[in-house]
Amino acid sequence: MTPVLEAEHLHLMYGARPALHDVTLDVREHEVLAIIGPSGCGKSTLLRTFNRMNDRIPGVRVIGSVRFRGRSVFDIEPTSLRRQVGMVFQRPTPFPMSIFDNVAYGPRMHGVRDRRRLKEIVETSLRRAALWDEVKDKLSAPAAALSGGQQQRLCIARTLAVEPQVILLDEPTSALDPGATAKIEELIEELAGAYTIVLVTHNLDQAERVSDRVAFMLAGEVVEVGPTAEVFERPRDPRTERYLAGRPLTVARRGVRGPRLAPVGEWGAR
């Protein structure tokens, strides 16, 4: 079976600075693939190559191939590619409009005018994003009034509303508190059946909890890919092993820098 997304011998440079080096990676139908690695290892860059968001950055050069269902993404109109390969970002990005209009934004832009149809889409998307019960009475309230976790689920709902096949999640919980993070993780597990999901995270426990396969990146290269349990329990590459072994340290360091302290319990979770 052809993979949904595949990168093959992909090199990417920001001007003279290499960001990805000879990356080969595939994403399979209906799986949750987690990409882990230290900050600056290129995991977000790789994610952004899948839906050509890197086009926006001046001076980006790409060598190698990236394919979506066997077709080079560079031969697909970016707007049509991005409709099929949706993306959710690190910080919640509610548009400056109501909750309803946020979710309806994509379908409207893609030509859905019928009010009833829009209502249907909004409700379905919000339900799938597990937000419906919380917002059904205030759909016309500004999205900015929601909490950070709700905003992030709203952004997921907004992505779902354009009916993508793949959802790229770029550290979707790094700006959220543990409670909101848990909800998003639950949601990822629920969506896994219907969508193909690529999750970039530097929360290793999150990767272990929600992903089917995990790819470990270091300095722009994919060091190791494999089924999550395998990689976490028996890493083949010594670099992966070192990175995973340093986990408590990583979590602690992130806790100091990041918006919230990681709960102590997570330290010994493994």
Give Cβ neighbours of residue 12 (< 8 Å, ≥ 6 apart). 18, 19, 20, 42, 45, 46, 49, 54, 60, 61, 62, 63
- Beta strand ranges found along 3-161 (DSSP E): 5-14, 17-27, 32-36, 60-68, 71-72, 85-88
In the range 52-111, which residues lie near another protein by CB under 8 A? 52-66, 72-75, 77-84, 86-97, 105-106, 109-110
- Name the one range near another protein by CB under 8 A: 116-124, 136-144, 227-235, 238-246: 136-144
- Name the one range near another protein by CB under 8 A: 116-124, 130-138, 145-153, 232-240: 145-153
**Nearer Cβ to another protein, position 104 or 231?**
104
Closest distance to another protein from the beta carbon of 214 (Å): 23
- Name the one range near another protein by CB under 8 A: 140-148, 205-213, 226-234, 239-247: 140-148
Identify any residues that bridge with 63 across adjacent strands, giving them in sequence order: 11
- 256 is a site residue for another protein (CB under 8 A): no
3-state class (DSSP) for residue 63? strand
In the range 224-243, which residues lie near another protein by CB under 8 A? none
Closest distance to another protein from the beta carbon of 37 (Å): 14
Give me the amino acid identity at 110. Answer: H
- Kindly tell me the number of DSSP H helices and DSSP E strands found in the chain: 11, 10
Identify any residues that bridge with 36 across adjacent strands, giving them in sequence order: 216
**For residue 79, what are its two tokens?**
């707007």
Compute the distance between CA of residue 176 and CA of residue 173 in angstroms, rounded to an integer.
5
Binding-residue pattern over the window 14 to 53 for another protein, x denoting contact by CB under 8 A: --xxx--xx----------------------------xxx
**For residue 108, what are its two tokens?**
């409207």
- Name the one range near another protein by CB under 8 A: 156-164, 193-201, 232-240, 249-257: 156-164
**Nearer Cβ to another protein, position 6 or 208?**
6
Binding-residue pattern over the window 114 to 133 for another protein, x denoting contact by CB under 8 A: --------------------
Give Cβ neighbours of residue 165 (< 8 Å, ≥ 6 apart). 4, 84, 85, 195, 196
**# of chain residues touching another protein (CB under 8 A):** 71
- 203 is a site residue for another protein (CB under 8 A): no
- 172 is a site residue for another protein (CB under 8 A): no
What does the DSSP 8-state code read for residue 142? B
